[in-house]
Amino acid sequence: MRLKGKIAVITGAGPVHGIGKGIALAYAREGADLSLNYYGHKLDDMEQFKNELESFGGRVILTEGDISQVETAERLITSTVSAFGRIDILVNNAYISTQSLIQDMTVEAWDNMMSVNLRSVFLTTRFAVPHMIEQKFGRIINMASQIGQKGGVEHSHYAASKAGIIGFTKSIAMELGRHGITANCIAPGPIETHVMHTVNQEWRDKKLAELVIPRFGEVDEVSPTAVFLAAEPDGNLFTGQTLGPNLGDVML
């Protein structure tokens, strides 16, 4: 088990079909103890998901709340250190996605996208990094998107938030490498999640036509990248990078 004994924090890790859930399951299978943030899910559903994760032999704690708020982010990190004594891996996965042409977009929609998708990444990183510096080890994995690399019609706010994550990640990688901390992004292509199912069919058809591998990806095809970046020695030499399980949508 490649993550045995590691403590991983994952935001946006609810019980519905999504990348956060997939990463949590993959980390549990690899032996990690988990601290999960969730928001908008029923506690009974989260407890059931917690039991599923603990069936792999690790420990799991839950923190409910809007991760774009200072209080929630600080509570998530503090409760993790209190329960487990350290934080080895931080996966910033929480996000929202809506569609709007720029001329129709409201300031509220823009601000909400930036708050959930980008501000939350800063907050959790800000509170987790001092612990990682103290222990001279850390793995920060931020979920970006191929749309943050190439843009997307009706997704200017989403693209800006995800591009911001990529720039933020490169910068902290430069700052933190001397402390034994790596920081990387994963920028998936279109993945069949509960959020993707809310996107209109016209957009899905156009996106499918752009892909070199002509299908949408599955959650279980993204989570191995998150395991790779977190594991030793697998991810040791990667920092400031953006890995793209994107079906050929972006080629670098």
Q: Count CA within 13 A, CB hemisphere, residue 120.
A: 33
Q: Which residues partner with 184 through β-bridges?
A: 141
pLDDT band of residue 135 (cuts 50, 70, 90) is: very high
Could you report the per-residue pLDDT of 71-113, keeping only the tens digit for each?
999 999 999 999 999 999 999 999 999 999 999 999 999 999 9
Q: Evaluate if residue 11 carries a pLDDT over 80.
A: yes
DSSP of 159-199, one letter per residue? HHHHHHHHHHHHHHHHHHGGGTEEEEEE----B--TTGGGS
- 95 an active-site residue? no
pLDDT band of residue 202 (cuts 50, 70, 90) is: confident
Nearest-angstrom CA–CA distance, 13 and 21? 5
Q: Which of 27, 38, 95, 158 is catalytic?
A: 158
Q: In the structure encoding, which two tokens stand for residue 174, read together?
A: 């430069």
**Does 7-241 carry CATH code 3.50.50.60?**
no
Q: In the structure encoding, which two tokens stand for residue 20, read together?
A: 């956060």
Q: In the structure encoding, which two tokens stand for residue 186, read together?
A: 């994963």
Which pTM value belongs to this model? 0.96
The residues spanned by each domain of the chain are: 7-241
Sign of CA dihedral 36, 143, 85, 171: negative
pLDDT at residue 203, as a whole number: 81
Could you report the per-residue pLDDT of 46-66, keeping only the tens digit for each?
999 999 999 999 999 999 999
